[in-house]
Structure 1
């Protein structure tokens, strides 16, 4: 697993920044993706992929322990679709 701090440490080393500066940049990128999703916009990062918000409607489900029917509330989730370049890199 890679954490925000580990990403920031790698960016700091590659770009000759302090760890604090790099962490601020990483957190800012994540905040911009979140803000765009909240506004209903898609975030597209070329050669990496797209982040977008998806609404899932209310539905019926089953409690696996009892078999009873339950209602699963509607929700929103952030989805990621990798770009072809990223898929190709991962499948080499």
Structure 2
């Protein structure tokens, strides 16, 4: 398995793909992150074509167990971000 792509590498690839400079690519990437973050934090979902769908899901209060002590405790309700991968990306990865 190869190393994950860093933001610098992603910006360079994005700039090449867009035929733009790195400053423009960085701005586009930051804007995308801001839009997705705001939409998901507000309880919505964002579909990025060819990548997947990012959603926020609420989990109810539940009982959990501390593996070190075996103690059972109640964990408060919380939210979790979920990413569902697009079928087109799965098809590309699986050949």
TM range (shorter): 0.7 to 0.9
Structure 2: stretches of 5+ with no match in the other structure: none
- Does structure 2 conserve the Cα–Cα contact (< 8 Å) formed by 1:4 and 1:26? no
Give 1:82's match in structure 2, choosing from 41, 64, 85: 85
Secondary structure of the residue aligned to 1:36 is: helix
Where does residue 55 of structure 2 map in the other structure? 52
CA distance in 2, matches of 1:29, 1:74: 28
- CA distance in structure 2 between the aligned counterparts of 1:40 and 1:83, rounded to whole angstroms: 20
How many residue pairs match? The answer is: 92
- The alpha carbon displacement at 1:27 in A equals 0.9
Matched, 1:16 2:19: yes
Shift of 1:80: 0.6
4+ runs of 1 displaced by more than 6 Å? none
Normalized against structure 1, the TM-score is what?
A: 0.88
Specify every segment of 5 or more residues in structure 1 that has no aligned partner in the other structure, as ranges: none
